[in-house]
Structure 1
Amino acid sequence: MRIKKFKIIFKGALASMLLLSACQKMNRPGYSNYPKDTNPPGGPLKFYVAFDGTTTNPLMNAVDSIRANFASENPLTSIAGVNGKAVQGENKKFVKYAKPNDWADISRSFTISCWFKRNGQTKNNAGTNGPEYLMSFKASTGHWSGSSLLVFLEGDNAAGQVKVMVADKTSDSWFTWENSNTSSIPGLLDNNWHHIVLTYNSTNSIMTLYIDGVANSKTRAWGTHGGVVFDASKITEMRVGAGPGTNYDSNDWLSSTFKGGIDQVRMYSTVLTQAEITALFTGKL
């Protein structure tokens, strides 16, 4: 009798536990329906935001799909992108993330990819001619720029220039495609969506610029620097659509924001091949 009674009590307790577990699963909030990219755990794609969210929460609409890394600020308007939705850059406004996941920790070589759409002359926040940033890392490394990464455009409807600055633990370097090198790019700011890719290869210290799937013939070298070693612990903000500065009401070129559309921001810890870059361009990814 005691054994039978114990079995009844045990079965009752087990049923209660299963019921409680089921209730807990039912009450668990669901994940947001945001885009995800094919990338194995620990794969080369370290940060990816498509800006395709359709919720009323702008932070969820700007979520990074690799680590479900939500933006801390997103004051930008959602617009039609090259693929799904995008964000419209504005004067003195930008999207802010705490970190680019572990991209800066482990990337010795890297690839940065995004789509942009800008019409005409780039301007600083005071309205005079100046750069407009696709991306920057605000950092407390002691570098004069207050950053460890700058990616920005300058130009007008006729032609545009691409400028990149990388500062790691040992030194910094500029990689530019501009007038002084007869490398300004026609039609870059013509109010159409364009795909930009930047690759840095640690084996030869060379950065290559791709526009709409085509490699620019002018590569840029960082001497014999080799692998980039960011001081990731000093990166205080990742900004999409702004420089690292905070003098927003001035013509400070480091504080300028992007006034066009931005879509499909991707950051890899490897150098993508030409075929992979072509696939991103043709697939509007």
Structure 2
Amino acid sequence: MNYMNKIVRSTVILAAFSFAVMGCQKMDRPTLGDYAKDTNPPGGPLKFYAAMDGTSVDSTRANFGAEKDITYTAGVQGQAMDGTHNGYISYGSANDFKKSTSFTVAFWLKKNGPNPAGAGTSFVFGLATTTDIWTKQDMFLEFEDAGNPSSADLASAKFYLLDQWFEFTGAKRMPHVLDGQWHHLAFTFDQTTSTLTTYIDGQAFTNLPADFGKFTNNGGQVNFSKSAGLVIGGAGHYAIGKTPDSWMGNFNGMIDQFRLYDTALSASEVADLFTNKK
């Protein structure tokens, strides 16, 4: 074997060894294309989608969130994030969702009853804001732990939208969503009617006063132009480097398939998300 052949053979062996070592390495994040996606054309209505399938990635922009004290476990489809009293995922932004004039927020959750005493309310998500208001958020959903408390069969919740509160309390509490089983929630806002519609497991929640969903602030129009980051599993404060108020607890449960659209999905579209576990 001449000198040049020895060099070629050594180079091939070294390259094969390097490839084998690299192939065995555990990647911290999935490579591009290796995470769950949803059909959505460029510029389409789905502005944020975190499947929580073993990673925090928002696959509409290949944008990873900052994870704090969460794990991944079996979800309604694939895996889901499993939070603790201190767990959440923080994203620097919700992409072009801030341009929305109509919207839909949709996700799956699984939680057994309200937070334990002293742990505070359960914030499912919070859209932070740069506006100097005490809530530090443009939108959020939280489950109550006191006053009009939640139970496993009746969830006392408050949906906050640009300083207007939609309170699912007393006789308006949500049935079964905290019973330890997977449930789908969706909130749609239609700018043409200035109305928020609530869906539970693919069906519009109708146990509400006739004018319950009417949004009256800001002339009935939403404006998220000052919104900042998004937090899933906690209050929006974390996304802007603030500490939530003492009563603002994190979501001690599981969240899966978190979506933000810049349009009000129809009843059939929401039903499809539920039926097909999207």
Q: Alpha carbons of 1:38 and 1:31: their partners in 2 closer, same or farther (altered >3 Å)?
A: same
Matched residues in 2 for 1:242 and 1:98: separation? Answer: 14
1:91 equivalent to 2:92? Answer no
Matched residues in 2 for 1:175 and 1:70: separation? Answer: 31
Give the AA of the match of 2:167. T
Give the AA of the match of 1:39. N
Match of 1:277 in 2: 270
Matched residues in 1 for 2:224 and 2:177: separation? Answer: 30
| 1:246-284 deviation digits (Å, cap 9, x = unpaired) | 557xx8123x10000000000000000011011000001
Match of 1:46 in 2: 47
SS of aligned partner of 2:67: coil
| 1:47-68 deviation digits (Å, cap 9, x = unpaired) | 0010113xxxxxxx11001111
CA shift for structure 1 position 92: 1.5
1:62 equivalent to 2:56? Answer yes
1:252 equivalent to 2:243? Answer no
CA shift for structure 1 position 227: 2.6
> Where do 1:95-244 residues align within 5 Å?
95-104=89-98, 106-123=99-116, 127-128=117-118, 130-154=120-144, 155-167=150-162, 172-179=163-170, 182-217=171-206, 218=208, 219-223=212-216, 225-232=219-226, 234-235=227-228, 237-244=229-236
Alignment length (residue pairs): 235
Q: TM-score, normalised by structure 2?
A: 0.79
Matched residues in 1 for 2:158 and 2:106: separation? Answer: 14
Q: Alpha carbons of 1:176 and 1:216: their partners in 2 closer, same or farther (altered >3 Å)?
A: same
What is the root-mean-square deviation in Å for CA atoms of aligned residues? 1.9
Matched residues in 1 for 2:157 and 2:48: separation? Answer: 22
Matched residues in 2 for 1:41 and 1:80: separation? Answer: 30
Structure 2 gap ranges (5+): 1-29, 145-149
Whether the 8 Å contact between 1:114 and 1:196 is mirrored in structure 2 is yes
Whether the 8 Å contact between 1:159 and 1:184 is mirrored in structure 2 is yes
Give the AA of the match of 1:196. L
Give the AA of the match of 1:131. T
Structure 1 gap ranges (5+): 1-28, 54-60
Matched residues in 2 for 1:107 and 1:213: separation? Answer: 23
Q: Alpha carbons of 1:93 and 1:30: their partners in 2 closer, same or farther (altered >3 Å)?
A: closer
SS of aligned partner of 2:179: coil
Whether the 8 Å contact between 2:69 and 2:83 is mirrored in structure 1 is no
Match of 1:22 in 2: none
Q: Alpha carbons of 1:32 and 1:41: their partners in 2 closer, same or farther (altered >3 Å)?
A: closer
Q: Alpha carbons of 1:30 and 1:239: their partners in 2 closer, same or farther (altered >3 Å)?
A: closer
Give the AA of the match of 1:94. Y
Asked which structure has the greater CA Rg, the reply is 1
Match of 1:31 in 2: 32
Whether the 8 Å contact between 2:141 and 2:159 is mirrored in structure 1 is yes
After superposing on structure 2, the runs of 4+ consecutive aligned residues of structure 1 that deviate more than 3 Å are 244-248
Give the AA of the match of 1:103. F
Match of 1:79 in 2: 73
Q: Alpha carbons of 1:129 and 1:33: their partners in 2 closer, same or farther (altered >3 Å)?
A: closer
CA shift for structure 1 position 30: 5.0
Matched residues in 1 for 2:61 and 2:120: separation? Answer: 34
Matched residues in 2 for 1:30 and 1:117: separation? Answer: 29
Whether the 8 Å contact between 1:83 and 1:284 is mirrored in structure 2 is yes
Whether the 8 Å contact between 2:68 and 2:86 is mirrored in structure 1 is no
Q: TM-score, normalised by structure 1?
A: 0.77
Give the AA of the match of 2:100. S
